[in-house]
A and B are shown apart, each in its own frame.
Chain A
Amino acid sequence: MAEIMKINTEVTIAGVTFKNPVMTASGTFGSGMEYGEFVDLNKLGAVVTKGVANVPWPGNPTPRVTETYGGMLNAIGLQNPGIDVFIKRDLEFLKQYDTKVIVNVCGKSVEDYLDVVERLSDEAVDMLEINVSCPNVKEGAIAFGQKADALFDITSKIKKIAKQPVIMKLSPNVTDITEMAKAAEAAGADALSMINTITGMKIDIHRRTFALANKTGGMSGPAIKPVAVRMVYQAANAVKIPIIGMGGISNAEDAIEFLLAGASAVSIGAMNFINPYTTVETIQGIEDYMRRYQIFDIKELIGAVK
């Protein structure tokens, strides 16, 4: 009987070691409760939670989601229960699992973000992901992610008080992603995640109105993957800090593409909605790929395509 080849799928980002590079993209997986019915959360590299603010946010009016060719648009507007309930309920729930916890933080002002970051300082959280790229809320969020000086400012303020390593989640809705990546790195960000959704619009020609109540929404799903791979590649070649890549990943092949482009880890987003088992199937598929090509350590793949 052939011996099963030993492979190492661990990746380390800012001193945090993940059992594999597969995470969940914020906003597509709640805090894991809903998908815990389908997948064993212990198998995931990390659960990245839905964005949480210092107070509850009601989000946008409906319709909040609509389908587009090979993808979807959403304008949820970061509905969340606020940090108090989140700590008591969601973080408590996640403690049962042997996976890393990355909390996505959102806010309308710098103070809002700092409030949440501070509240999380003594909690069982491995990393923070700062959402400066949500296209669906009017104040804050993306306003901090589209100008390099604003991004530098908020990143450095968060870094001053954060107890956990900080990931800045970047928006693709910019002219030059490398400028934003460099600004975050210069301000002390420990890692980057990209891409958030691409701003889009859909018009219902039968009702002659916008498909979403918010008029615009963030596009996600397989249709955006080439944009995301390109941006991860550009950013990986512009900064030294690690990148968590995402945008339309459906399977292991897609995930490996991001790793080869320079991502140290990947997140599954919209595809959780289509196939709730996508995360675990991707992990298995990466292992199969490594065995097939005799790759002993996943780090050999990261940024291997120059």
Chain B
Amino acid sequence: MAKRKETAKVQQQTCIAPGIFDMWIETSLAQDAKPGQFINIYPDDKSTLLPRPISICEADSGQDRLRVVYRTVGKGTNEFSGYHAGKEISILGTLGNGFPIEKASGKTCFLMGGGIGIPPMLQLAKALHEQGNCEVIIIVGYRDANLFLDEELAKYGKVYIATEDGSVGSKGNVMNAIEENGLTADVIFACGPMPMLRAIKKFAEANDMEAYISLEERMACGVGACLGCVCKTTKKDHHSQVNNARICTDGPVFEAREVDI
């Protein structure tokens, strides 16, 4: 179905780690949601006009509900964190291309998430589990022992953890976890902070692997019109033909070799 803006209803919200919120939203957009896609959530406060693009953590199409897990980082997300069950919210979606799960067929896959890049890995792990013809290794990185979603991810594959302070799993980041555990794979799916994605791009190129990485940038429209959220690409982008792809519509997921990050 086409992208649309609609009024949806918050079903429940809980705080699952310091500053990390887990919200289920009742919406028909769940029908269209693919792993790696995102929705725009609009704050009520009219001083914060722009939508907040937030990745889909889980989509339950049978029950028309979407789950987002986000970090409070400013006025918009602080407002969202105060929503209770029954609250009506404006959302637009589903946005972006999502992860190409067909690329996992017959392969061993790394699903790598760093910090607030972890949530989209849950829907991806679920989708790959349903697809069924690949092996999934999940590697997630946190700041400290305040883990989230790790137990749910473990239902779909072996989970390796890295923490910056070394309190759980490997000390350092997801790359340290790969090294320490001697992990190997054929294809990578990743979402996380830019330094992590740069390291993954380098790792994938050195090992001649495909890597699908989800990028982030300040957005306005979220639908490809404003050209605010571009990233440098190695080839001409199809929209403006100037090696600047739109993260919101051409992405957010790109094959690592396609982008200059």
Which A residues contact B (CB, under 8 angstroms)?
A: 27-30, 33-35, 37-38, 50, 56-59, 62-67, 69-72, 74, 76, 79-82, 85, 221-222, 270, 272-277
B242 located at the interface, meaning its Cβ lies under 8 Å from any Cβ of chain A in the complex: yes
B242 contacts A57, CB within 8 Å?
yes
A9 to chain B, nearest CB (A): 25
Q: Which 8 A-B pairs have the closest CB atoms?
A: A65-B228, A58-B242, A273-B221, A34-B225, A30-B225, A63-B218, A34-B224, A65-B220
Supposing A38-B3, A56-B240, A274-B42 touch, asked if A64 and B227 sit within 8 A by C-beta, the answer is yes
B75 to chain A, nearest CB (A): 9
B223 contacts A62, CB within 8 Å?
no
Supposing A67-B49, A79-B230 touch, asked if A85 and B3 sit within 8 A by C-beta, the answer is no
B48 is contacted by which of A34, A57, A67, A85 (Cβ under 8 Å)?
A67
B49 is contacted by which of A29, A56, A57, A221 (Cβ under 8 Å)?
A221
B92 is contacted by which of A28, A66, A82, A276 (Cβ under 8 Å)?
A276
B206 located at the interface, meaning its Cβ lies under 8 Å from any Cβ of chain A in the complex: no
A65 contacts B239, CB within 8 Å?
no
A55 to chain B, nearest CB (A): 10
Q: Which residues of A contact B218 (CB under 8 A)?
A: 62-66
Q: What is the bound-complex CA distance between A275 and B241, given in angstroms?
A: 28
**Chain B residue nearest to A29 in the complex (CB):** B225
Q: Which residues of A contact B4 (CB under 8 A)?
A: 38
A72 contacts B230, CB within 8 Å?
no
Supposing A66-B218, A221-B49, A222-B46 touch, asked if A276 and B240 sit within 8 A by C-beta, the answer is no
Q: What is the bound-complex CA distance between A33 and B231, given in angstroms?
A: 21
B217 located at the interface, meaning its Cβ lies under 8 Å from any Cβ of chain A in the complex: yes
B12 located at the interface, meaning its Cβ lies under 8 Å from any Cβ of chain A in the complex: no
How many B residues touch A, CB cutoff 8 Å? 34
Main secondary structure, interface of A, reads loop
Q: What is the bound-complex CA distance between A276 and B227, given in angstroms?
A: 15
B225 contacts A28, CB within 8 Å?
yes
Q: Name 27 A/B residue pairs within 8 A (Cβ), A-sorted.
A: A28-B226, A29-B225, A38-B4, A38-B5, A57-B240, A59-B240, A62-B217, A63-B217, A63-B218, A63-B228, A64-B218, A64-B227, A65-B50, A65-B228, A67-B48, A67-B50, A72-B50, A72-B220, A74-B226, A79-B242, A81-B240, A81-B241, A81-B242, A82-B241, A85-B241, A272-B225, A276-B223
Q: Which residues of B contact A63 (CB under 8 A)?
A: 217-218, 228
Which B residues contact A (CB, under 8 angstroms)?
A: 2-5, 42, 46-51, 92, 217-231, 239-244, 249
A37 contacts B5, CB within 8 Å?
no
**Chain B residue nearest to A36 in the complex (CB):** B2
Q: Which residues of B contact A74 (CB under 8 A)?
A: 220, 226, 228
A273 contacts B230, CB within 8 Å?
no
Q: What is the bound-complex CA distance between A37 and B240, given in angstroms?
A: 20
Q: What is the bound-complex CA distance between A37 and B258, given in angstroms?
A: 27
Q: Which among B3, B4, B240, B243 has the highest number of chain A CB atoms within 10 Å?
A: B240
Q: Which residues of B contact A65 (CB under 8 A)?
A: 50, 218-220, 226, 228-229
A27 contacts B226, CB within 8 Å?
yes
A70 contacts B47, CB within 8 Å?
yes
Q: Which residues of A contact B47 (CB under 8 A)?
A: 69-70
A187 to chain B, nearest CB (A): 31
Q: Which residues of A contact B50 (CB under 8 A)?
A: 65, 67, 72, 273-274
Q: Which among B5, B217, B226 has the highest number of chain A CB atoms within 10 Å?
A: B226
Q: What is the bound-complex CA distance between A80 and B223, given in angstroms?
A: 16
Q: What is the bound-complex CA distance between A48 and B241, given in angstroms?
A: 21
A222 to chain B, nearest CB (A): 7
Supposing A38-B4, A62-B230 touch, asked if A274 and B242 sit within 8 A by C-beta, the answer is no
A64 is contacted by which of B223, B228, B249 (Cβ under 8 Å)?
B228
A56 contacts B3, CB within 8 Å?
no
Q: What is the bound-complex CA distance between A72 and B226, given in angstroms?
A: 12
B252 to chain A, nearest CB (A): 14
Q: Which residues of A contact B223 (CB under 8 A)?
A: 34-35, 37-38, 276
Known contacts A34-B249, A76-B228; 7 further A-B pairs (Cβ under 8 A): A37-B3, A56-B240, A58-B242, A59-B230, A64-B227, A79-B227, A273-B226
Q: Which residues of B contact A62 (CB under 8 A)?
A: 217-218, 228-231
Q: What is the bound-complex CA distance between A70 and B42, given in angstroms?
A: 13
A275 contacts B225, CB within 8 Å?
no
Q: What is the bound-complex CA distance between A81 and B237, given in angstroms?
A: 10
B85 to chain A, nearest CB (A): 25
A76 is contacted by which of B217, B226, B243 (Cβ under 8 Å)?
B226
Q: Which residues of B contact A57 (CB under 8 A)?
A: 240, 242
Q: Which residues of B contact A28 (CB under 8 A)?
A: 221, 225-226
**Chain A residue nearest to B49 in the complex (CB):** A274
**Chain B residue nearest to A57 in the complex (CB):** B242
A222 contacts B49, CB within 8 Å?
yes
Q: What is the bound-complex CA distance between A241 and B5, given in angstroms?
A: 38
Q: What is the bound-complex CA distance between A64 and B226, given in angstroms?
A: 10
Q: Which residues of A contact B231 (CB under 8 A)?
A: 62
**Chain B residue nearest to A82 in the complex (CB):** B241
